[in-house]
Structure 1
Amino acid sequence: MTKPKHRIVSRNLICDNWIRLEELTIESGRLNDPGKLHSVNRFVHHHGSGACVLPYDAGRDCVLLVRQLRAPLVWLNLDDCWLIEAAAGLVDDGETPKEAIQREVVEELGYRCHSFVPLPMYYSSPGSVTEQVFPFLARYSQTDKHNDGGGLASEGEDIEVLEMSLVELSRLFRDGKIQDSKLQLCLLALLAMLPGKREVPFASMF
């Protein structure tokens, strides 16, 4: 299939604070008629790229997670706005995704993890957001604890550190209690990589 050509006709900056929000006018050909041009207006949200990690203790078959209050869930007026997630953070200028997540695990989880395994990059919400997310798996043990974690108070972070068995995390996912997409992806990747037969949530339903 030949992909139609496209170009940005105009861009209008709406906001440039912590996020950058632009309105783009894009001109492109159509898939079924590449020579016929049409224009669309789209809003694009940019706040940089991110990295996330699911650390695994093979000796005790458990993982490290975070739980924190999320403003969009407050906006949705949910009963429980505290989300269980994979530790994550933005990639600062001059950092690689691995360097960023190594920094974040110390800040958020309080551990110095090792044996980082990169997973494929994905776009968090490509309909409107430019964010690229770089997920990782990693190893840790109790001897790798460096501090209490919890995030940086200077950045307004108030993070609960959770250690949970892999069996329990899989059960919560199966029961619809894990609603963080980056944690879902990392969990499924970890289960696929571990030796021996593991029950993968939802596998029996297909």
Structure 2
Amino acid sequence: MSDTFKPGTDDVQILQREQCFSGFYRLERLQLRHRLFSGEMGAQIERELFVRHDAVCVLPYDPRRDEVVLIEQFRTGALDKADNPWLIELVAGLIDKDEQPEEVARREAMEEAGLELGALWPVCRYFPSPGGSNEQVHLYVGRCDSEGAEGIFGLPEEGEDIKVHVWSVERALAAVRDGKIDNAASIIALQWLALNRDEVRGAWS
């Protein structure tokens, strides 16, 4: 293996790209080759790619009360693999073409939880499943006032039925530890908050 080889996009050859399905999401089939760590080009391989909009997830956090606002909703993807397909999650939404991630965070916080967010703290951007999807997630912690945050929200025309929960940070972290919160964005955001809580509270107090 060559120690000097540093792979990049120029080391991938797309030989054919076929659209297999197009709806709210899109499925493509790619024939491609990529350079190996030996420095040689590899053999042709076939991969299917789930193409979807990038997403924004935000954890509303009240630094004064040390509470987070989480939402609960039914998720089809958990139907066959979870005891309960109603998941505890972050506020989240997909990015439309002309939107900035921060705009999506604020819009979704109002639509899904009735919350007006203050400052947004960028946590990270990550690929939740890069082996088969091109989706990238923009993750934030958003300052909020959690007092009185409750109710059922969501857009009925989009089939949304969302329940708001206000939890102490300690309760939320315990839910991560016990496996009651089992989706990636929520786990990452809450673990990040656990590591950076003092800094965030200091900046937002």
TM over 0.5: yes
Amino acid at match of 2:124: P
Q: Determine if the alignment matches structure 1 residue 28 to structure 2 residue 34.
A: yes
Cα distance in 2 for partners of 1:112, 1:134 equals 19
Q: Aligned residue for 2:169?
A: 166
Tell me if structure 1 keeps the 8 A contact 2:127–2:137.
yes
In the alignment, what sits opposite 1:134? Answer: 138
Runs (4 or more) in structure 1 with deviation over 4 Å come to 142-145
Query: Are 2:169 and 1:180 aligned?
Result: no
**Tell me, what secondary structure is at the counterpart of 2:192?**
helix
Aligned 8 A contact 1:51 1:134 in 2: yes
Amino acid aligned to 2:93: G
Distance of 2:99 and 2:148 partners within structure 1? 23
1:50-199 alignment, distance < 5 Å: 50-74=55-79, 76=80, 78-142=82-146, 148=151, 150-195=153-198
Q: In structure 2, what is the Cα distance between the partners aligned to 1:43 and 1:193?
A: 38
2:9 is the alignment partner of 1:6: no
User: TM-score with structure 1 length normalisation?
Assistant: 0.88
> What's the TM-score once normalised by structure 2's chain length?
0.88
For the residue of structure 1 that corresponds to 2:104, the secondary structure is helix
Shift of 1:61: 1.3
Please say if residues 113 and 144 of structure 1, whose CA atoms lie closer than 8 Å, have aligned partners that are also in contact.
no
Correspondence for 1:202: none
CA-atom RMSD in angstroms: 1.8
List per-residue Cα deviations over 1:157-196 (Å, max 9, x = no partner): 1111111111111111111211011011111111111228
Which residue is equivalent to 2:48?
43
Correspondence for 2:21 = 15
Q: Deviations over 1:108-145 (max 9, x none)?
A: 01010111111221011100110110000011114796
Do the aligned residues in 2 keep the contact of 1:30 with 1:38 (CA within 8 Å)?
no
Give 1:163's aligned amino acid.
V
- 1-structure distance, mates of 2:146, 2:185: 24
Give me the identity figure in percent: 32
Q: Number of matched residues?
A: 193
CA contact (8 A) 1:49 1:90 kept: yes
Deviation at 1:78, TM superposition (A): 3.3
Q: What are the superposed Cα offsets for residues 59-106 of structure 1, whole Å, 9 maximum, x if unpaired? A: 2211000111111111x1532111111110001110000001110000
Contact 2:54–2:137 at 8 Å: present in 1 too?
Answer: yes
Contact 2:48 2:132 survives alignment (8 Å): yes
Residue 88 to residue 23, structure 1, CA distance change in 2 (3 Å): same
Give the unaligned 5+ runs of structure 2.
200-205
